[in-house]
């Protein structure tokens, strides 16, 4: 008899798991049973479907005022530091045009907190992309960037959200959440906004009718209890707003950061984190195994451990590659579909809001 029977019983009876259950799952080495329980819930929520999308990342600047230990030096640069770049708007539009194909359904747009850029830049960026690519969904700006806009525009959060929505914002990526715990957060994220503020901004964005994702960065200096605490804080906000689409656990890549001495996460930990996320976040429609941080092979296996989404084709990811992830820069649709089929799942190409996309051609 596995000591996880009580938890399995709760999941089967559709009872919510407690903080202690979450910690127990993380502490278990019975990865097969943890995965099996998560898989039951995953199949209850998503059947046999496994989702992916055709997207491109636009990282408009890596210049950032935040002393974020997980990103400075790996991707971000201080103002004036060597290696910093900022795309002027015409460069953003040219980059987007180069990357555009008819299959594209999403631009994923994030950047550093660059004091040289005025608030108007972000509105013009969205407007310019919407004008040029009216069919492409603009998933842009993390809760950290929203808080920065409040400061530089000196406007209330609600009016920033309304401006961005009017300019073409479709939804928001889940970055910047890192780990909410007050002990660990400043040690990896410097003076980035607090976990409480991240959640407060997400609440306001959801209330304005904009859906967002959420992430958790794990595998650095956080404790297992802090991971479970992070998941429960997200679950509580989701109970309140229902505005989260997807949760993405992000495995920390230490290279080129001040935590370069830390080991990378292991397969056991990665799969367990996917599984525990699925089980604790019973009110999140989707759990994403982000192939960029996990490697395509492990992300594929994760489709049997609670995950139902692999993210997208991407083509050029900079943030996590800056920190040494060994994965390629992008994948094609046939490559992603093969991973999904070989996991015994049904590939569903989706748009950002998880509506299936119908294709005439299956080529790119």
Q: Residue 26 or 354: which CB sits closer to ligand V47?
A: 354
Would you say 28 or 223 has its CB closer to ligand V47?
223
Cβ neighbours of residue 328 closer than 8 Å, sequence gap 6 or more: none
283-to-50, 232, 334 alpha-carbon distances in Å: 18, 11, 31
> Nearer Cβ to ligand V47, position 17 or 307?
307
Distance in Å, CB of 245 to ligand V47, minimum? 8
Choice from 64, 250, 280, 299 touching ligand V47 (CB under 6 A): 250
Query: Minimum distance from CB of 142 to ligand V47 (Å)?
Result: 6
Instruction: Please enumerate, as own/partner, the contacts of 258-262 that have beta carbons within 8 Å and a separation of 24 or more.
Output: 258/69, 258/72, 258/73, 259/69, 259/70, 259/188, 259/220, 259/221, 262/219, 262/220, 262/221
From 206, 227, 233, 253, residue interacting with ligand V47 (rule: CB under 6 A): 253
Residue 109 or 123: the one with the smaller Cβ distance to ligand V47 is 109
Task: Please tell me the count of residues contacting ligand V47 according to CB under 6 A.
Answer: 22
Question: Binding of ligand V47 at residue 319 (CB under 6 A)?
Answer: yes
The answer to the question of residue 243 lying near ligand V47 (CB under 6 A) is: no
- Interface with ligand V47 includes 173 (CB under 6 A)? yes
DSSP code of residue 145: H
Instruction: Please tell me whether residue 215 binds ligand V47 under the rule CB under 6 A.
Output: yes
Indicate which single residue of 121, 122, 180, 252 sits in contact with ligand V47 (rule: CB under 6 A).
252
Is 307 a residue that touches ligand V47 (CB under 6 A)? Answer: no
State the binding string over 65-94 for ligand V47 (x if CB under 6 A, else -). -----xx--x--------------------
Shortest distance (Å) from residue 138 CB to ligand V47: 13
φ and ψ of 183, to 5 deg: -70, -50
Q: Taking the complex as a whole, how short is the minimal distance between the CB of residue 24 and ligand V47, in angstroms?
A: 26
Coil, strand, or helix at residue 288? strand
d(CA 279, CA 270): 14
Quote the DSSP letter at residue 61: B
Which residues in 338-360 are b (16+ Cβ under 10 Å) and which e?
Answer: ebbeebebebbbbbbebeeeeee
Positive/negative CA dihedral, 222, 227, 232, 234? positive
Helices (H) and strands (E) in the chain, counts: 15, 9
Q: Per CB under 6 A, does 211 bind ligand V47?
A: no
Which residues inside 263-302 make contact with ligand V47, applying CB under 6 A? 290, 293
Does position 143 interact with ligand V47 (CB under 6 A)? The reply is no
- Backbone angle region of 295, left / alpha / beta, with phi > 0 → left and psi within -120 to 50 → alpha: left
Backbone angles phi, psi at 185, to 5 degrees: -55, -50
Q: Which residues bind ligand V47 (CB under 6 A)?
A: 70-71, 74, 173-176, 178, 213, 215, 217, 248, 250, 252-253, 257, 290, 293, 311, 319-320, 323
């Amino acid at each position: 008899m596995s000591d996880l029977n009580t938890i399995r019983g709760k999941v089967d009876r559709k009872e919510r798991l407690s903080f202690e259950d979450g910690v127990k799952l993380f502490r278990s080495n019975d990865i097969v049973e943890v995965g099996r329980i998560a898989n039951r819930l995953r199949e209850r929520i998503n059947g046999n479907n496994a989702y992916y999308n055709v997207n491109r990342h636009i990282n408009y600047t890596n210049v950032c005022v935040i002393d974020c230990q997980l990103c400075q030096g790996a991707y971000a640069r201080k103002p004036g530091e060597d290696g910093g770049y900022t795309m002027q708007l015409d460069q953003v539009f040219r980059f987007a045009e180069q990357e555009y194909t008819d299959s594209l359904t999403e631009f994923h747009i994030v950047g550093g907190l660059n004091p040289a850029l005025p608030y108007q830049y972000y509105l013009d960026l969205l407007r310019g992309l919407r004008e040029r690519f009216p069919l492409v969904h603009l998933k842009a700006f993390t809760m950290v960037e929203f808080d920065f806009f409040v400061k530089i525009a000196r406007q209330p959060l609600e009016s920033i959200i309304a401006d961005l929505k009017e300019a073409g914002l479709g939804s928001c990526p889940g970055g910047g959440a890192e780990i909410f715990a007050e002990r660990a957060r400043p040690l990896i994220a410097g003076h980035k906004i607090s976990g409480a503020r991240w959640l407060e901004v997400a609440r306001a964005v959801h209330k304005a009718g904009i859906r967002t994702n959420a992430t958790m960065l794990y595998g650095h200096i956080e404790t297992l209890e802090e991971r479970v605490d992070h998941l429960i804080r997200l679950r509580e906000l989701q109970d309140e707003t229902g505005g989260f689409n997807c949760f993405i656990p992000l495995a920390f890549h230490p290279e080129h950061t001040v935590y370069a001495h830390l080991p990378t996460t292991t397969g056991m930990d990665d799969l367990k984190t996917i599984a525990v996320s699925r089980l604790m976040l019973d009110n999140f429609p989707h759990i994403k195994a982000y192939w960029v941080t996990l490697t395509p092979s492990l992300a594929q296996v994760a489709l049997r451990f609670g995950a139902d989404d692999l993210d997208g084709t991407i083509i050029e990811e900079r943030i996590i590659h800056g920190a040494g992830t060994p994965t390629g820069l992008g994948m094609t649709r046939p490559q992603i579909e093969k991973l999904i089929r070989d996991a015994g799942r049904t590939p569903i190409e989706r748009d950002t809001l998880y509506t299936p996309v119908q294709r005439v051609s299956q080529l790119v």
